[in-house]
Structure formats: C-alpha cells, structure tokens
Structure 1
Amino acid sequence: MEKIYKKKGRIFIFSTREAIKFGWGKFVEKVGFWVVLMLLYFVIIFGVDFWSLLVRDLPVSFLFDLISMALSLIFSLGMIKITLKAYENEAYSYSDFLNVFKYLIRYIISFIIYLAVVLIVTLIVVMPFILFATSLAFDTLYRITDGTQPLIVGFLVIMGLPGMIPGILLAIKLFFFDYFIVDKDMGIIESLKASFRLTKGRLLKLIVFFLAVVLINFGGILLLGIGLLVTMPISFLATAHVYKKLVERESTEFA
C-alpha cells in the first residue's frame, strides 16, 4: 500500500525523511551484507586505480581506467537491482550483480546521452555569462592595479553560477533513466523520456531529497571515508524508495 504524505493541505508522493528512514531500516536488516559489499567495491576499484597509477605505459594505464569505469557502472546497476528488490521485500544477494550485464550497453549509451544533454544545456545557458564575465574581467583588471583583482574575478565567477541551474534541474529530471532500464527493461531513449515524465512537477521535492543525500555522504567522507560504508547503501536504498513511490503514484494517476 502506497503512503501519501500530507502537509498544509497538499499531497506529496514521498517524504525525504521517510526515504532516509527506509534506507536506514533496510541497511540495519542486513548490515553485514552491505558493509562487505561496499568493502569489496572499494578494494577492487582502488586496486585497479592503484595499478593504473603504477603503470607507465599510457595505453595500459588507459585500459585500467576503462576497467575501473566499467566496474563502477556495473556496481551502480547492481545496486539499483538489489535496492529495488529490497523495496519489494524480495530476496537479494551478491549474485544479483551477475544479472545486470544485459543492461550494460544500454546503460552506457543512455549515460553518455544523459551527460551530453545536460552539458549542452548548461553550456548554452552559461556561455553568455562566461563571455560577459570574460569581457568584463579583462576590461576591469586592465584598469585596476590595487590588488583587488582576485576579488573581482571571484565575483564574476559567482555571477555565472545561476546559469548552471537549468543544467542541474535537467540532470535531476533525467536522473532515473537507469532505474527504468533495470526495473522496466526499457530502451535507451524510452528510459530518458520516462524519467523526464516521472519527475514532472516534483523537482522541488527531489532537490530537497538529493541535497539530503549529498549531505549524508559528505558526512561519511568526513569520517575518514569509512562512513561511506554506511551512507552509500543508505543513499541507494533511499533513492530506490523515492523512485518506487513516484512510479506507484504515476501508475495510479494514469490507471
């Protein structure tokens, strides 16, 4: 049964607090599983990256980088798979990571399109700020010689930050494309469209949620990085919770 959260007469599809609470609850249920999983991931990734740094041959080093990237993508798909199972109270195990290879090509292509679209939109919006700031900077710095140049450059950079907002919003709207690939076995463009549709009218709630996730993982980093063994699984579980709530709500709206 789907929960509907109410506040001041408005109906919300999910609650950030409930999503984090769900993530924590599922993490505690199988804490050993999640900690071992994260340890394996970090050991493997850091091991590959370490050998990449040691190798002096550029092509071989590049190969190690590709392996590291592929392993990270497989890990992300596997985490999506098992956290969606956790939401449905289905049994999950390490072997689920072997069942996500069929999504890998679709995920890579979708991810490239995702990054390209977000980057293009960001550049289109930010470019006028950059051109204006560059022109103003050269003109101003040429005239000022009293040591305040760094402050002026910093001010001009800050002026350009609002131009990044459309790119960030678009990144959030398309964020769940990989969940649709794993959960609904969707194609490349279909998954991106589905995510765009799913997040319509829910951006503010999603911004709050993702800010909370960033802060939680930042806290994990502050704990000498060891905290990530806890915060990363919780973040994935909480995100699966949010995705499922959005999908369940959408299915009732169009039923």
Structure 2
Amino acid sequence: MAEKRFGMGEAIRFGWETMKENIWFFIPLLIIAFLIKSVPGAIAEYAGSEFPVISTVLWLSGLLLGYVVDMGLVKISLQFCDGVKGKFDDLLSSFDILIPFIVASILYGLIIFGGFLLLVVPSIIWGIQFSLYPYFIVEKKLGPIEALKASSRATMGAKWDLFLFGLLLGLINFAGMLVFLVGLFATIPTSMVAYAYVYRRLTGEPEPTGLTYEV
C-alpha cells in the first residue's frame, strides 16, 4: 500500500483558514486575474474578421497573459504557505519563466493526450504524476523536463491520495458554483492554497504556518 504523505483534511483546513483570514485580498485578486485573462480575448472576438491582425495579436496576448497569471497564482499560494504576505504585484511577476512554463504545459498536455489514446486510465495516472510541474518551475526555476521529473518524484507513492484530493477539491468548487457562483470566491482560494500546501508536504518542506496579506 502506498504511504500516505499528506492529510487531505489538514490541507483543506489550512486553505480554508487562509482564505477566511485573507478574503478581502483574494476577492479582488481573483477579479483582477479573471479580467487579465479574459479581456484581451473578448476584445479579439469583438474585433473579429474586420481587424484580423489586431484580433490575432490580442488573442495571443491574452493567451500569454493567462500563463503568467496562472504562475502568479501559484506563486501567491506558495507565499501564503510560507507565511509571506501576498501581493497583487506577484500576479504578473513571472514573465522571466514564461517560456519554460509554456513548454512544460505543452509537454504535459501531450502526455495527457497520449494517456487518452491508451484507454484513459494512463491519462489520469500521468496527469497526477506530473501535476506539480508548475510549482517546481515557479519556485525552483527548473526547466520543463526537470520540472516534470521533479513532479514525478514528488508524487511517487501519493497518486491515489492526490486523485482523491482532486475529487474533493472538485466537489468543493462545485458547491461554490451552486451558491450563485459567489461561493467560488471562497472555494477557489481555498483550493489554491490547499494544493500548494500539499506540494509543500510532498516535497518535504516544513509545515506551512501563519498568513497575512498586504495590498
């Protein structure tokens, strides 16, 4: 039997308490992240065929900014785990590792696709096995291949727990959607920090503690 290396309950509790203590940081953070990721694409859609060059540039800009925002959210989640104050500036602070992140994301997508071609189950296993690559790129500045390998090592012996944890987070966010979507302002930060907590535990880092924020 695989050794259990993190507690799902403690991860969720940590994420929940962090969210409650910093809710007025997370709400505008999520709104800003959503706008950065969606506005360029919306404008590109509006420009449409009348301004194809502008539309293409905006679409690509939105795509790249989406990657940067995703890395920023990972960085902020890790900061809260480390007791470091979250800052809005960190949302767009990862341009220097954009290329490795994009390459790793493409490789990860290809791995998942390859798993689907092998009757789905390998896709789930590999999806879990390599799921921590964003954290290794954001925190350790690893290259794409190194980050995927590091994720594989970190998740060894914990895949079943991670699978159940992913289902639990999915149910939590589904519950947030049922509350007129407003609940997502609570469940998304909870999930973000909880998963960063799990990363910390699986990589042998000290147990996360205390949290504050600044605007």
Same fold (TM over 0.5): yes
> Which contiguous aligned blocks of 4+ residues in structure 1 show a shift greater than 4 angstroms?
none
1:238 paired to 2:194: yes
Across the aligned residues of Structure 1 and Structure 2, the Cα RMSD in angstroms comes to 1.9
Tell me what 2:159 maps to. Answer: 203
- Report 1:176-195 matches (<5 A): 176-195=132-151
Residues 4 and 157 of structure 2 are in contact (CA less than 8 Å); yes or no, is this contact kept in structure 1? no
Identical pairs, percent: 32
Larger CA Rg, structure 1 vs 2: 1
CA distance in 2, matches of 1:44, 1:117: 28
Tell me what 1:228 maps to. Answer: 184
CA distance in 2, matches of 1:49, 1:232: 22
CA distance in 2, matches of 1:44, 1:221: 21
1:78 paired to 2:34: no
Residues 13 and 245 of structure 1 are in contact (CA less than 8 Å); yes or no, is this contact kept in structure 2? yes
1:41 paired to 2:41: no
Tell me what 2:210 maps to. Answer: none
Tell me what 1:217 maps to. Answer: 173
Alpha-carbon distance, 1:11 to partner: 5.8
Residues 83 and 237 of structure 1 are in contact (CA less than 8 Å); yes or no, is this contact kept in structure 2? yes
* Unmatched segments (≥5 aa) in structure 2: 206-215
Select the structure with the greater relative contact order (CA < 8 A; seq sep ≥ 6): 2
User: What is the number of residues matched between the two proteins?
Assistant: 203
TM-score (norm 1): 0.74
CA distance in 2, matches of 1:39, 1:98: 14
CA distance in 1, matches of 2:69, 2:58: 16
CA distance in 1, matches of 2:93, 2:42: 28
Tell me what 2:211 maps to. Answer: none
1:121 paired to 2:115: yes
Residues 177 and 195 of structure 1 are in contact (CA less than 8 Å); yes or no, is this contact kept in structure 2? yes
1:23 paired to 2:15: yes
CA distance in 2, matches of 1:231, 1:31: 11
Alpha-carbon distance, 1:121 to partner: 2.8
TM-score (norm 2): 0.87
* Unmatched segments (≥5 aa) in structure 1: 1-9, 126-162, 250-255
